[in-house]
Structure 1
Amino acid sequence: MKRLVLFFLFFILSIHDSVAQCAMCRAVLETEDGGVKAEAVNDGIVYLMIFPYLLVPLALYLSYRVYKSKKSTK
């Protein structure tokens, strides 16, 4: 279990730069000068994308604990 947690932490911390804009957002935001808004939108999308990746392992861990506790009570 410790190896899994360490792998997950390494995976999360190793993501440096992700491009998460859709084609429409990129086309609209690249027409502006400087691209500052495009970077801000990209950062916001990546920020919002992190939460599902955190919730899925949490749900799996909790279901594992419930399964293990039911198995040990039998």
Structure 2
Amino acid sequence: MRTKIVFFLFLVLLFWESSSQCAMCRAVLESEESQSAAQGINDGIVYLMAIPYILVGGIGYIVYRKFFRAKPEE
């Protein structure tokens, strides 16, 4: 159980500081003086990238629980 918690925390922290801009977006956004737009674009891309993984993980967990839960003995 401890290994699963450590692995989950590692994955969360891995996505925390991700830079997700393509080369063209990075070139355009680096040319402006204020980096607030670039940071906003990065946050939006990471948010859009994380949602499908969370949904697939949640559905996978539900399927796992449904198939591998303890069956009552008759």
TM over 0.5: yes
Q: Using structure 2 for the length normalisation, give the TM-score.
A: 0.69
What are the Cα deviations for residues 13-63 of structure 1, in whole angstroms up to 9, with x where unaligned?
454311001111111111212222111111111122221221122111111
- Mark the CA change 1:9 to 1:58 in structure 2 (over 3 Å): closer, same or farther: farther
Q: CA deviation at 1:10?
A: 4.3
1:48 is aligned to: 48
Other-structure match for 2:62: 62
Structure 1 residue 28 corresponds to structure 2 residue 28: yes
SS in structure 2 of the partner of residue 18 of structure 1: coil
Uncovered stretches (5+) of structure 1, i.e. residues with no partner: none
Q: TM-score, normalization: structure 1?
A: 0.69
What RMSD, in angstroms, separates the aligned Cα atoms of the two structures?
A: 2.4
How many pairs were matched up?
71
Distance 1:67 1:16 in 2: 33
